[in-house]
Amino acid sequence: MRLLRLRLRNFRGVEEREVVFLRDGVTVVVGPNEIGKSSMAEALDLLFTAQDSSQKAEVKAVKPVDRDAGPEVEAEIETGDYAFTYRKRFVKSQETVLQITRPRPEHVTGRQAHERVEQILEQTMDIDLWRAVRIKQGEGLGQAVLGDAQSLGRALDRAAGTVHEGQLETTLFDRAKEEYEAYWTPGGKLKGDFPLRTSVTQHQAALDGIESQMRAVAADVDRDADLTAERTRLADAKGPETARVAELEARWRQIEELTRNVEKLEETEKAARVVAEQAAEASRGRAAAAADLAAAEAERVRLKAAVEAAAPALASARERSEHAATSLADARIARETAEAHARTTRDDLDFLRARQALAEHTRTRETLVAARAALAAAEAAARSNLVDPSAIEAIRLADREVQVARALLDAGRPSVVLTALRDVTVLVDGAPSAMRAGESAPRHTVTERLTVELAGTLRVEVDAGAGDVALAERGAEAERALRAACERAGVTDLAAAEAAATARREAMAARTEQKRRITELLGGDEPGRADQLEMRIALHTARIAAYLESRAGAAMPGDEEAAASEQAAADRAADEARTAESTLEREDRAAREQLAEREVAASEANVRLDLAETDVATRALALEERRAALPDGAIAESLGGAVAAHEAAKFAAAAARLALEGEGPETARALLDNARRVVDGMAENLRALEISQAEVRARLRDHGEDGLAERRDAEVTARDAASAELERWLARAEARRKLYEALKTARDAAHLAYVGPLRDKLTSLGKVVFGASLGLEVGEDLRVRSRTLDGRTVPYESLSIGAREQLGVLTRLACAMLVAEDGGVPVMLDDTLGFSDPRRLEAMGAVLSLAGASCQVIVLTCYPDRYRHVGGARTVLLS
């Protein structure tokens, strides 16, 4: 199809516009925004698709807002064998006019015209392709949907040498796919087989259940037979066993008889033993009694002898004790006397000491008084002496100042040194002074005037001069100060001051010394000490007085020493007396103890002797009585008889036991018990078997009527049928899969084959823009999958916007070029390549030009420069 001319009137904002396009080649329509470029594409669409009477929104939308007029579109078109002009007015004064010029002139209007055009276009134009290769404004980035474009398909097939898919094939493929999808999921898994499989499984499960029930029934039948056999066998075995039990019981009864006999004999033996023991007991008793009596008599004799032996010792002990007591009393008296004397000597000594102490205290007191007086004097001296260290220091300083001042003054004063060159006598201030040759007199400082006279020869007068007034002042000041300081201190001059200071210091020292002495005397410097001293003196005085009174004229030792020695002697005597006394005490105690002991022992022995005599008497009497009742001989006799009887009984019993042992009673009992158990066990088993069999039969009865066999057969049939159905279903599924896969594989191959030409064309166009290393992968849906440039492959979606845009345009151009032979469709590009850089734009221009050689390309743009590189293009400027 070729669009030769398009005219719009009253279409949106366009009052009137007509554009003529190049029939073959590129027409670039340039115009600013809102001038109605895109309206042209829209107008063409409406012209083809909408009836003039259409009330659709898109038709109404193109009515101009400012005028009450119907939008009008007129197009001059060549398509296939046809050439016609087609005009429509919508909305108001609706009109459709078709003027066909080729092959035969025809004039058609209204609905007929619309339908005729539809028919013509249907015949001659691949509408899908036309739509696919158009780029509407703002849609530049999508890939063209080329899959449905039949003409493209045919062209590609032709180029690839493949046969194009016909309607039959497409329908066949669709049907095969539909059938396939009824049985298979997209993931290639069977679907819908589950119910069939479940049915098979269920029937199988039911079958298994019934078969296991049938097996249980068969098992029960077998078990019943086994139980019957077992019961019979057991019953048969029971008989002999029962007989055996009877046999063993008889034997056992025999043994019991023997046992009873043995017991009886043992009883007899026991009785005989008792009797024999009793007789022995009696015999022993009698003998014991006699022996005891003899022993008692012996004891009595022994005790008597002991008592008599002890008597003398007792008497001597008595004597000793008396003697000891007497001695002790004497010693006690002596001690007391000695102690009294010692006390007296001690008291005397104390008295003398006290007197001594008193004298000392008194002396101390006197010394204290003297010291206190001295202290007072020293303090008085110190107080009155005003020359304390600070005062003396001041005086010293003042004196020094005076000295210094003088020195300075003197320094300023003339000084004269007299040196005798020969022995001479000079008069210095009238005073003669002999000097030897070479002797120098000390330097004279002239304070006022110095007169040195050599009698009769020379007089020298040296005047001090005024001297420094300040220095003189200073000297005078210093002397004043010195005088003042001395006055303050109460002294006349420095020497006096020194003396006073020394005196003061001595007084201070004396004071300190006295204080120390006082403290020493009192033994401390606490205030109460002096009082204590007084107290002590008083105390001692009183005590002495008291003692003297008490002694009242008795002779006293002269001094302490004598008193001490007297005391010592008295103490010694007292000690001796004590020692003697204690020795005698011990003796006294010992003697008394001894006496006591012996007296106790004697009394005890007497008591024992009495008891022994009583005992003997009692025993003798008792024995006599017993003998009277039963003589010793009789006892011996009965003992002999009892022992014999016992022996006999023992023998008999032993014999009987032996006989019993020989019968083997334990074994017999064990056998009998065992046999009984065996029979009981058998009876037990039989009962159990009966019960088991009853159970089995009950089960058979219960299940016998289940009709298991027929149910089983029914399930087998059902299962087999379900299996078969599943098989058939699976076969059907497989068949569909085979068919679909075969068709798909063949179709994909075919598609792949015919993708080739498009890919090759696109690549060759693309190389102009992207470079010689360009490689493109195109899918069978005719979309670009990836671009390879300089060895790097990038998927389409990851390319830059500019590249994608360029590829979009190139694809459409390639398609159009491939289809061009058939007449093709115009490529309409509305405002594309906005993202392409100048270099790419230039290349794209070249490609457009190339395309223009075989197709009609219409480009709408705002930018005049963008498409200036399209060689051979017609540019239409809209204003």
Partner 1 sequence: MSVRFLHSADWQLGMTRHFLTAEAQARFSQARIDAIRTLGRLAQDTAAAFLVVSGDVFETNQVSPQTVRRALEALASVPVPVFLLPGNHDPLDAGSIFRSPTFVSGRPPHVTVLADGTPHAVPGAPGVEVVGAPWFTKRPLSDLVADVCATLEPSKGLVRVLVAHGAAEISFDNPAVIRVEDAEAALADGRIAYLALGDRHSTTSVGSSGRIWYAGAPEPTDYDELDAGNALLIELHDDGRCEVTKHRTGTWRFARERFDLDGADGIDALGAWLDALAPKERTIVKLTLVGTVSLSANARLEALLEHQRDLFGAIERWQRHTELVVRPDDDDFADLSLSGFAAEALAALRAEASGTGADADAARDGLALLVRFATTAGAAS
The contact set with partner 1 (CB under 8 A) reads 162-169, 171-173, 175-176, 179, 214, 217-218, 220-221, 224-225, 696-697, 700-701, 704-711, 713-714, 716-717, 720, 731-732, 734-739, 742-743, 745-747, 749-750
Closest among 114, 120, 31 to 73, alpha carbons compared: 114
Nearer to partner 1, 210 or 491 (CB): 210
CA geometry: angle 404, 406, 407, nearest 5 deg: 60
CA distance 177 to 414: 155
253-258 contact pairs (CB < 8 A, 24+): 254/663, 255/660, 255/663, 255/665, 255/668, 258/656, 258/659, 258/660, 258/663, 258/665
Rg (Cα) of the chain, in Å, rounded?
85
- CB of 815: closest distance to partner 1 in angstroms? 21
Nearer to partner 1, 78 or 715 (CB): 715
CA geometry: angle 14, 15, 16, nearest 5 deg: 95
The token duo for 590 is 């010992």
- CB of 714: closest distance to partner 1 in angstroms? 7
- CB of 236: closest distance to partner 1 in angstroms? 20
Nearer to partner 1, 225 or 404 (CB): 225
- CB of 705: closest distance to partner 1 in angstroms? 5
Nearer to partner 1, 383 or 732 (CB): 732
For CA atoms 716, 720, 721, 725, the dihedral sign is positive
- CB of 795: closest distance to partner 1 in angstroms? 28
CA distance 417 to 632: 173
- CB of 6: closest distance to partner 1 in angstroms? 38
The token duo for 66 is 């400012």
- CB of 755: closest distance to partner 1 in angstroms? 14
Residue 778: partners with Cβ closer than 8 Å, 6 or more residues away: 755, 758, 759, 762, 784, 785
Nearer to partner 1, 717 or 798 (CB): 717
Structure letter (DSSP) for residue 190? B
Total Cβ atoms within 10 A of residue 80: 15
Nearer to partner 1, 623 or 730 (CB): 730
Give the CA-trace dihedral at 469, 473, 474, 476, to 10 degrees: 140
Whole-angstrom CA distances from 781 to 133, 148, 503, 760, 784 are 15, 9, 142, 15, 9
Reduced 3-state DSSP string for 40-59: HHHHHHHHHHCCCCCCCHHH
- CB of 782: closest distance to partner 1 in angstroms? 16
Whole-angstrom CA distances from 133 to 488, 825, 834 are 139, 8, 18
Nearer to partner 1, 711 or 874 (CB): 711
- CB of 724: closest distance to partner 1 in angstroms? 11
DSSP per-residue string spanning 506-533? HHHHHHHHHHHHHHHHHTS--TTHHHHH
For residue 748, the Cα-to-chain-centroid distance in whole angstroms is: 66
Nearer to partner 1, 166 or 240 (CB): 166
| Helices 194-384 and 665-703, axial angle in degrees (round to 10) | 120
Contact 420, 435 (CB under 8 A): yes
CA geometry: angle 634, 638, 642, nearest 5 deg: 170
Nearer to partner 1, 675 or 782 (CB): 782
DSSP per-residue string spanning 667-713? HHHHHHHHHHHHHHHHHHHHHHHHHHHHHHHHHHHHHTTS-HHHHHH
For residue 855, the Cα-to-chain-centroid distance in whole angstroms is: 82
Nearer to partner 1, 226 or 468 (CB): 226
The partner residues of 793 in beta bridges, in order of sequence, read 788
Nearer to partner 1, 218 or 306 (CB): 218
- CB of 152: closest distance to partner 1 in angstroms? 16
The token duo for 745 is 């594989």
Nearer to partner 1, 220 or 805 (CB): 220
Nearer to partner 1, 487 or 713 (CB): 713
- CB of 163: closest distance to partner 1 in angstroms? 4
- CB of 785: closest distance to partner 1 in angstroms? 21
Contact 297, 615 (CB under 8 A): no
Nearer to partner 1, 310 or 731 (CB): 731
532-536 contact pairs (CB < 8 A, 24+): 533/361, 533/364, 533/365, 533/368, 534/365, 536/357, 536/361
- CB of 223: closest distance to partner 1 in angstroms? 8
- CB of 181: closest distance to partner 1 in angstroms? 14
**3-state SS assignment for residue 476:** helix
- CB of 691: closest distance to partner 1 in angstroms? 15
- CB of 704: closest distance to partner 1 in angstroms? 5
Helices (H), 704-834: 708-770, 801-819
CA distance 773 to 679: 110
- CB of 220: closest distance to partner 1 in angstroms? 7
The token duo for 545 is 């007085």
- CB of 716: closest distance to partner 1 in angstroms? 6
Task: Please give the single-letter amino acid code of residue 834.
Answer: G
Total Cβ atoms within 10 A of residue 472: 15
Nearer to partner 1, 343 or 737 (CB): 737
**3-state SS assignment for residue 63:** coil
Give, for 445, the enclosing helix (H) or strand (E).
strand 444-445
Nearer to partner 1, 448 or 734 (CB): 734
Nearer to partner 1, 210 or 471 (CB): 210
